[in-house]
Protein backbone atom coordinates (compact mmCIF):
# COMPACT_ATOMS: atom_id res chain seq x y z
CA UNK A 1 0.00 0.00 0.00
CA UNK A 2 1.46 3.34 -1.08
CA UNK A 3 1.78 6.06 1.53
CA UNK A 4 2.18 9.45 -0.10
CA UNK A 5 1.60 12.08 2.59
CA UNK A 6 1.66 14.97 0.11
CA UNK A 7 -1.17 13.43 -1.88
CA UNK A 8 -3.07 11.80 0.97
CA UNK A 9 -2.58 14.24 3.85
CA UNK A 10 -2.16 17.62 2.18
CA UNK A 11 -4.12 17.40 -1.08
CA UNK A 12 -6.59 14.66 -0.13
CA UNK A 13 -6.91 15.69 3.49
CA UNK A 14 -6.22 19.34 4.28
CA UNK A 15 -7.15 20.86 0.91
CA UNK A 16 -10.04 18.47 0.22
CA UNK A 17 -11.64 19.08 3.62
CA UNK A 18 -11.54 22.83 3.07
CA UNK A 19 -12.92 22.45 -0.45
CA UNK A 20 -15.86 20.35 0.76
CA UNK A 21 -16.65 22.84 3.52
CA UNK A 22 -16.54 25.83 1.12
CA UNK A 23 -18.62 24.05 -1.54
CA UNK A 24 -21.28 23.38 1.09
CA UNK A 25 -21.22 26.92 2.50
CA UNK A 26 -19.86 25.68 5.83
CA UNK A 27 -17.68 28.74 6.14
CA UNK A 28 -16.90 28.48 9.86
CA UNK A 29 -15.67 24.93 9.35
CA UNK A 30 -13.65 25.98 6.31
CA UNK A 31 -12.00 28.79 8.27
CA UNK A 32 -11.04 26.44 11.10
CA UNK A 33 -9.58 23.97 8.61
CA UNK A 34 -7.64 26.70 6.80
CA UNK A 35 -6.17 28.09 10.01
CA UNK A 36 -5.32 24.61 11.24
CA UNK A 37 -3.78 23.87 7.85
CA UNK A 38 -1.57 26.95 8.14
CA UNK A 39 -0.37 25.59 11.48
CA UNK A 40 0.49 22.32 9.71
CA UNK A 41 2.48 24.09 7.00
CA UNK A 42 4.32 26.14 9.65
CA UNK A 43 5.09 22.84 11.43
CA UNK A 44 6.69 21.47 8.28
CA UNK A 45 8.69 24.66 7.88
CA UNK A 46 10.20 24.70 11.39
CA UNK A 47 13.93 24.18 11.92
CA UNK A 48 14.93 20.57 12.57
CA UNK A 49 15.78 21.29 16.20
CA UNK A 50 12.30 22.64 16.94
CA UNK A 51 9.41 20.39 17.95
CA UNK A 52 6.47 22.76 18.44
CA UNK A 53 4.99 25.42 16.17
CA UNK A 54 5.11 28.92 17.58
CA UNK A 55 3.15 32.08 16.88
CA UNK A 56 6.19 33.38 15.00
CA UNK A 57 6.33 30.29 12.76
CA UNK A 58 2.66 30.74 11.83
CA UNK A 59 2.97 34.49 11.23
CA UNK A 60 6.15 34.15 9.17
CA UNK A 61 4.63 31.42 6.98
CA UNK A 62 1.53 33.53 6.28
CA UNK A 63 3.55 36.67 5.56
CA UNK A 64 5.72 34.78 3.09
CA UNK A 65 3.14 32.67 1.26
CA UNK A 66 -0.43 33.95 1.60
CA UNK A 67 -1.38 36.50 -1.04
CA UNK A 68 -4.64 38.06 -2.20
CA UNK A 69 -5.48 39.64 -5.56
CA UNK A 70 -6.91 42.81 -3.99
CA UNK A 71 -5.32 45.98 -2.61
CA UNK A 72 -6.07 45.21 1.05
CA UNK A 73 -4.04 42.49 2.76
CA UNK A 74 -4.26 40.28 5.80
CA UNK A 75 -1.11 40.05 7.88
CA UNK A 76 0.27 36.97 9.52
CA UNK A 77 -0.65 38.57 12.84
CA UNK A 78 -4.25 39.11 11.66
CA UNK A 79 -4.56 35.45 10.72
CA UNK A 80 -2.85 34.23 13.89
CA UNK A 81 -5.32 36.27 15.94
CA UNK A 82 -8.11 34.82 13.79
CA UNK A 83 -6.75 31.34 14.46
CA UNK A 84 -6.83 31.87 18.20
CA UNK A 85 -10.31 33.42 18.08
CA UNK A 86 -11.84 30.68 15.91
CA UNK A 87 -10.14 27.68 17.51
CA UNK A 88 -10.61 28.79 21.10
CA UNK A 89 -13.97 30.60 21.04
CA UNK A 90 -15.43 30.18 17.53
CA UNK A 91 -15.43 33.95 17.37
CA UNK A 92 -13.49 36.94 16.08
CA UNK A 93 -11.98 38.34 19.27
CA UNK A 94 -8.60 37.05 20.43
CA UNK A 95 -6.12 38.11 23.08
CA UNK A 96 -4.01 39.63 20.31
CA UNK A 97 -6.92 41.68 18.94
CA UNK A 98 -7.85 42.87 22.45
CA UNK A 99 -4.23 43.98 22.91
CA UNK A 100 -4.24 45.82 19.55
CA UNK A 101 -1.63 43.48 18.02
CA UNK A 102 -3.89 42.48 15.11
CA UNK A 103 -7.26 43.21 13.62
CA UNK A 104 -10.32 41.08 14.27
CA UNK A 105 -11.11 39.06 11.16
CA UNK A 106 -14.72 38.50 10.09
CA UNK A 107 -15.84 36.27 7.27
CA UNK A 108 -18.08 36.60 4.23
CA UNK A 109 -19.01 34.56 1.20
CA UNK A 110 -17.55 35.29 -2.23
CA UNK A 111 -16.77 38.95 -2.60
CA UNK A 112 -14.73 41.32 -4.72
CA UNK A 113 -12.65 42.84 -3.35
CA UNK A 114 -11.81 39.73 -1.39
CA UNK A 115 -10.78 41.69 1.71
CA UNK A 116 -12.74 44.67 3.01
CA UNK A 117 -11.39 47.11 5.54
CA UNK A 118 -12.79 50.52 6.35
CA UNK A 119 -10.93 52.21 9.20
CA UNK A 120 -13.62 54.93 9.31
CA UNK A 121 -16.13 52.25 10.33
CA UNK A 122 -13.82 50.17 12.55
CA UNK A 123 -10.03 50.41 12.61
CA UNK A 124 -9.70 46.98 14.25
CA UNK A 125 -11.95 44.86 12.04
CA UNK A 126 -11.42 43.41 8.57
CA UNK A 127 -13.61 41.07 6.48
CA UNK A 128 -12.29 38.33 4.21
CA UNK A 129 -14.08 36.18 1.66
CA UNK A 130 -13.81 32.56 2.83
CA UNK A 131 -13.52 31.19 -0.73
CA UNK A 132 -10.72 33.72 -1.39
CA UNK A 133 -9.02 32.76 1.87
CA UNK A 134 -9.17 29.12 0.81
CA UNK A 135 -7.78 29.92 -2.64
CA UNK A 136 -4.97 31.97 -1.14
CA UNK A 137 -4.12 29.06 1.16
CA UNK A 138 -4.17 26.52 -1.70
CA UNK A 139 -1.77 28.64 -3.74
CA UNK A 140 0.41 29.21 -0.67
CA UNK A 141 0.66 25.45 -0.10
CA UNK A 142 1.66 24.86 -3.71
CA UNK A 143 4.33 27.58 -3.65
CA UNK A 144 5.61 26.43 -0.27
CA UNK A 145 5.93 22.78 -1.32
CA UNK A 146 7.94 23.74 -4.41
CA UNK A 147 10.27 25.87 -2.27
CA UNK A 148 10.48 23.18 0.39
CA UNK A 149 11.47 20.35 -1.91
CA UNK A 150 14.11 22.40 -3.71
CA UNK A 151 16.02 22.55 -0.41
CA UNK A 152 17.29 19.04 0.32
CA UNK A 153 17.96 19.66 4.01
CA UNK A 154 14.53 21.15 4.69
CA UNK A 155 12.88 18.49 2.53
CA UNK A 156 14.39 15.72 4.64
CA UNK A 157 13.07 17.29 7.85
CA UNK A 158 9.64 17.83 6.31
CA UNK A 159 9.49 14.26 4.96
CA UNK A 160 10.10 12.94 8.48
CA UNK A 161 7.36 15.21 9.85
CA UNK A 162 4.92 14.34 7.08
CA UNK A 163 4.94 10.73 8.27
CA UNK A 164 2.98 11.88 11.32
CA UNK A 165 0.26 13.71 9.35
CA UNK A 166 -3.17 12.11 9.38
CA UNK A 167 -3.73 10.23 6.13
CA UNK A 168 -6.72 8.37 4.81
CA UNK A 169 -5.66 4.81 4.21
CA UNK A 170 -7.86 1.97 2.97
CA UNK A 171 -8.77 -0.67 5.51
CA UNK A 172 -7.56 -4.15 4.60
CA UNK A 173 -10.51 -6.46 4.06
Residue 54 has pLDDT above 90, yes or no: yes
pLDDT in tens, 18-33: 999 999 999 999 999 9
SS3 163: coil
Q: With 50 as the cut, is the pLDDT of residue 1 above it?
A: no
Residue 120, domain member (yes or no): yes
In a domain, 60, yes or no: yes
154 is a domain residue: yes
What mean pLDDT do residues 71-99 have?
Answer: 97
Give the global pTM. 0.93
* Rounded average pLDDT over 114-119: 96
Q: Walk across the sheet containing 125-129 and list its strands.
A: 104-108, 125-129, 115-116
The verdict on residue 158 lying in a domain is: yes
| β-strand pairing of 125-129 with 115-116 | antiparallel
Q: What domain count does the chain have?
A: 1
C-alpha–C-alpha distance, residues 128 and 158, integer Å: 30
- Is there a domain that residue 101 lies in? yes
Range of the domain at 51: 5-162
Amino acid sequence: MERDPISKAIYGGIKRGIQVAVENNCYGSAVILILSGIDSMAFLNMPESQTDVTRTDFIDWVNRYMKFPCKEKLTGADLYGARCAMLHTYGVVSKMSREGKCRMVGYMSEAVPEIRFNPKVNNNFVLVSVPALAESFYKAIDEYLVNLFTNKEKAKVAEDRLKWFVQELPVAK
